[in-house]
Amino acid sequence: MERIRITYEKTGAMRYTSHLDLQKVWIRALLRAKLPLAYTQGFHPTPKVAYAWPLPLGWGTKGELMDIWLDDPEGKEADPEVFIREVNRSLPAGLRILEIGKLPYSDPALTIIIQSAVYQIFFPEIKDMEELNSKMSLLMSQEQIERERRGKIYDMKPLIEDWSCGKTTDGEIFMAIQMAARDSAMGRPDELAAALGFDPFAVNIIRKKYILQK
């Protein structure tokens, strides 16, 4: 049995697809590509696929991860170019495989080895990068950054591992931020936007990549 790690992007209208619906889209595309998918055991076998942390509705991603298991290592999966071409052909606009790699079958699950995630947060209201830099510097100067999640108060500051401000070639101002992404410590860039005084539903968030445990 072969284990394949897929890196993909989700952009455009696909950003508004729920995690549950996204799983269905992937299964249909993998089946249409005629890949020899491995199945789970039990009364209701399903293709053996494992996903990284779900994205909230409206967030995009340029470096999302998922693992699939295949029964025939001599099939299309033996050639990465063929694999990517055949599956991408079956995917809707806005969902696209960027690269694949083979893994040992017994490697730990994605949600165990993911340590952090890097995001880009775009602020439509901000026209001056120094203004955003000043806001973030002032926030980080506080001893604690208290936020509420599910009715509980927590300190966001330890979840912020790195940050910087930048500007795209089109002049859009953004913040690149690395936050903890573990089951016991999950940083949320929308909550950071709220702590900075912005409407979290008005910013545009893209997950760029994961930082994996070595």
Cα 39 versus chain centre, distance: 25
Q: Domain 112-212 classified CATH 2.60.40?
A: no
Q: Shortest CA distance to 153 belongs to which of 191, 115, 190, 198? A: 191
What was the pLDDT predicted at 104?
Answer: 87
pLDDT score, position 74: 58
Separation of alpha carbons 176 and 122, rounded Å: 9
76 pLDDT more than 60 = no
Q: What is the mean pLDDT of residues 27-49?
A: 91
Q: Residue 78: pLDDT above 70?
A: no
Average pLDDT over residues 85-101: 96
Instruction: Give the Cα separation of 86 and 77 in Å (integer).
Output: 10
Residue 1: pLDDT above 90?
Answer: no
Provide the phi-psi class of 39: left if phi over 0, else alpha when psi is between -120 and 50, else beta.
beta
Q: Work out the pLDDT band at 28, boundaries 50, 70, 90.
A: very high
What is the total residue count of the chain? Answer: 214
Angle between helix axes 19-32 and 80-90 (nearest 10 degrees) is 120
Every domain range in the chain assigned CATH 3.30.70.580: 2-107
pLDDT value at position 179? Answer: 98
User: Residue 3: how many CB atoms within 10 A of its CB?
Assistant: 19
- Across all residues in the chain, what is the average pLDDT? 93
Q: What is the pTM of this model?
A: 0.91
Is the CB of residue 26 less than 8 Å from the CB of residue 32? no
Higher-pLDDT residue of 88, 126: 88
**Cα atoms found within 13 Å of the Cα of residue 189, Cβ hemisphere only:** 29
pLDDT given for residue 191 in this prediction: 96
Give residue 92's pLDDT: 96
Mean pLDDT of 85-99: 96
- Pairs from 154-162 (Cβ < 8 Å, separation ≥ 24): 156/187, 156/191, 156/192, 156/195, 158/185, 159/185, 159/186, 159/187, 160/187, 160/192, 161/116
CATH class of 2-107: alpha beta
Residue 70: phi and psi, rounded to 5, are -120, 150
d(CA 53, CA 164): 23
101 pLDDT more than 70: yes
The reported pLDDT for the residue numbered 73 is 54
Residue pointed to by tokens 């913040």: 175
